[in-house]
Amino acid sequence: MGEDNAKEQPIIIIKKVSGHGGHHGGAWKVAYADFVTAMMALFMVLWLLNSSQETQKAIGGYFTDPEGNGKLIGSDMAGAGGEAINLAAAEMEQLKEKIAQSLKESTKFKELQDKITMVVTGEGLRIELMESDVGTFFESGSPVPTEQATEVIGRLAVEIGQLPNKVFIEGHTDSKQFAGEYSNWELSSDRANTTRRIMQAHGVRLDQVAQIRGYADQSLRKKDDAEDPSNRRISIIVQHKSGPKEPAAEGEKKDAHAAKSDGHGEAKKEEPKKEEAKHEAPKKDAAHGGGH
């Protein structure tokens, strides 16, 4: 009886039938999304090609500076970001070429061209007038300008005076020292001030010169040869229109160590520091050599 039931029991076979969608899944959706994205990108490119230059710069500036902190040189437009930096550099390169062309018209330029350098930096256009052993721009050890200095600085002033940009003037010396109280600090500052007077006499506005800096021998051009004549130079910096970010003055900085906590919530003042010795170049017994 049991054997008859086993023989009569039907055998059930279950087959899983996969639908058409199961084979492809959702891959077609991804491909379609990529196609739509590509078409949108193509549309944007075609639209940009037919838009104005201002629109192109504004959109390009957004991707460079999304927060809109950048400024276009010579305007109040924000959002140009890296484009503004490029424009500033391009303007300075044009100014550099214009000044170079003006200097070439000078009768003394051929004799002085290897003593004049111009380079565009993050601060602006830096023009340097370097001295030689015989005193090219200033008399040796003196802030009295030579005839060449008056002509060259005057030509620079004519071009720079037409600009809205601020100007910094720096004086530098080598490491040769003076005998007596007059030092390289005074010499570098006096030469920078002499340069300012010449420039203002030839077109630079009174409010255009922002700073006069005297560095003495603290910023040598050739650090491996502190007494090289090229270390004695005047640097004229034509700032970018927007101006570089200046570090805060010492008086404006908050001194984090001005007060120390004594553990009870009260500030404890530091003891006053001993007065430092004046930074003055060492003096030699002999008179200063003709290196300045």
One digit per residue, the tens of pLDDT, for the chain of length 292 reads: 555 555 667 777 776 665 555 555 678 888 889 999 999 999 888 888 887 776 776 676 666 655 544 443 333 333 444 444 455 677 888 888 989 888 888 777 777 888 999 998 888 999 999 998 888 899 988 999 999 899 999 999 999 999 999 999 999 999 998 888 899 999 999 999 999 999 999 999 999 999 999 999 999 999 999 999 899 999 999 998 765 544 444 444 444 444 444 444 444 444 444 444 444 444 444 344 444 6
Collapsed DSSP state (helix, strand, coil) of residue 168? strand
Burial class for 37, CB neighbours closer than 10 Å (0-12, 13-18, 19+): exposed
- DSSP codes, 84-130: HHHHHHHHHHHHHHHHHHHHHTSTTHHHHGGGEEEEE-SSEEEEEEE
79 contacts: CB under 8 Å, gap ≥ 6: 58, 61, 62, 65, 68, 70
Check: CB of residue 62 under 8 Å from CB of residue 70: no
DSSP-derived pairing of the beta strands 167-172 and 209-216 = parallel
Residue from 59, 95, 101 nearest 77 by CA? 59
DSSP-derived pairing of the beta strands 233-239 and 124-130 = antiparallel
